Amino acid sequence: MEGDLMPGKLYRFTVSVTKQANDEIRASAGRSGIRIGQFCSLALVMGARQLSRQYEPERYITADVIKSLVESGLVDLGELEKSLDE
């Protein structure tokens, strides 16, 4: 399917969710003030990006990210280097 996708074109997907998940999605869309279709489209894209970051963190953790984490004190550089050597 990847080869068939064209940039800028809209695609329609069908998903199956439980009634509880459906109710939760509809409530969240209502609270956010956007239509259910827009909410689901945004959630799909944002969720896919988040999963991508979890499955391929090396694509997103750049030298700048590491530098800012060390500068903020959230990461100890010595511990980070030690864990990368293992």
Tens digit of each residue's pLDDT (9 = 90 or more) over 20-55 = 999 999 999 999 999 998 999 899 889 988 898 888
**pLDDT averaged over the chain?**
84
Mean pLDDT of 6-28: 88
Give dist(CA 24, CA 42) in Å, integer.
15
Which pLDDT band, with edges at 50, 70 and 90, does 63 fall under? confident
Give dist(CA 81, CA 70) in Å, integer.
11
Instruction: Using the predicted structure, report yes or no on whether residue 1 has a pLDDT greater than 50.
Output: no
Nearest CA to 63 among 80, 50, 51? 80
Please enumerate in sequence order all residues whose Cβ is within 8 A of that of 43, keeping only pairs 6 or more positions apart, or say none: 25
pTM over 0.75: no
Nearest CA to 75 among 55, 50, 65? 65
List Cα–Cα distances, 1 to 4, 6, 46, in angstroms: 5, 10, 20
Mean pLDDT of 65-79: 81
